[in-house]
């Protein structure tokens, strides 16, 4: 569990450094969409910091605010899913990871995270399937997590 949390925290930091918002400049009333997306990203960054600090309930609240402003922000669903996982709310976590994958099918980290949520919830087969989906991607930046996913698969299969 410690390795999983350490790796997840590292990935949260990486996601925060590389995540971005679509910069659309259309206006809706007095609140322009670009500003809403910038504000959503600020809530995302705040939620990320709170999650790293172990403040999962507050992180979830910040994610909710971000999603009110930008309901298609896949990274926020993933971050909120991790906060739910750490809080033991696996069903909500799985729903958020599913949403992140629906919004961005190429968001490969969501496969790893949903696998972890399934594993924690006791759904071993779904966890194995999610980890296998994650492993199929060959991204050298994900080598450490791919090894962790392989170890998780082995642990889950041996526990049957």
Q: pTM surpassing 0.75?
A: yes
Complete DSSP assignment for 93-127: HHHHHHHHHHH-TT-THHHHHHHHHHHHHT-HHHH
Domains of the chain and CATH, by start: 2-158 (1.25.40.10)
Predicted local distance difference test score (pLDDT) of residue 49: 96
Predicted local distance difference test score (pLDDT) of residue 64: 97
Which residue shows structure tokens 């809530």?
Answer: 43
Tens digits of pLDDT across the chain (160 residues): 444 454 454 445 445 433 444 433 344 454 577 888 889 999 999 999 999 999 999 999 999 999 999 999 999 999 999 999 999 999 999 999 999 999 999 899 999 999 999 999 999 999 999 999 999 986 888 889 999 999 999 999 998 6
Task: Provide the phi-psi class of 88: left if phi over 0, else alpha when psi is between -120 and 50, else beta.
Answer: left
Predicted local distance difference test score (pLDDT) of residue 31: 55
Residue 87 token pair = 């809080």
Please state, in angstroms and rounded to a whole number, the distance separating the CA atoms of residues 109 and 144.
12
Predicted local distance difference test score (pLDDT) of residue 69: 92
Report how far apart the first and last C-alpha atoms of the chain are (Å, whole number).
19
Predicted local distance difference test score (pLDDT) of residue 139: 80
Residue 107 token pair = 């968001």
Task: Find out whether 88 and 100 touch, Cβ atoms under 8 Å.
Answer: no
Predicted local distance difference test score (pLDDT) of residue 33: 75
Predicted local distance difference test score (pLDDT) of residue 14: 43
Residue ranges of E strands in the chain: 27-28, 31-32
Please state, in angstroms and rounded to a whole number, the distance separating the CA atoms of residues 143 and 150.
11
């Amino acid at each position: 569990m410690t390795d999983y949390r350490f790796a997840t925290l590292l990935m949260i930091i990486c996601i925060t450094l590389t995540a971005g918002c679509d910069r659309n400049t259309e206006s809706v009333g007095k609140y322009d969409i670009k500003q809403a997306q910038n504000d959503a990203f600020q809530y995302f960054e705040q939620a990320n910091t709170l999650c790293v600090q172990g403040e999962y309930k507050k992180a979830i609240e910040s994610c909710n605010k971000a999603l009110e402003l930008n309901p298609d922000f896949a990274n926020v669903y993933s971050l909120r899913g991790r906060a739910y996982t750490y809080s033991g709310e696996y069903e909500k976590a799985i729903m958020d990871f599913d949403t992140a994958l629906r919004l961005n099918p190429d968001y490969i980290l969501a496969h790893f995270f949903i696998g972890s949520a399934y594993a924690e919830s006791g759904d071993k087969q779904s966890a194995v399937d999610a980890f296998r989906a994650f492993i199929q991607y060959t991204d050298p930046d994900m080598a450490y997590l791919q090894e962790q996913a392989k170890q998780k698969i082995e642990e889950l299969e041996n526990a049957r």
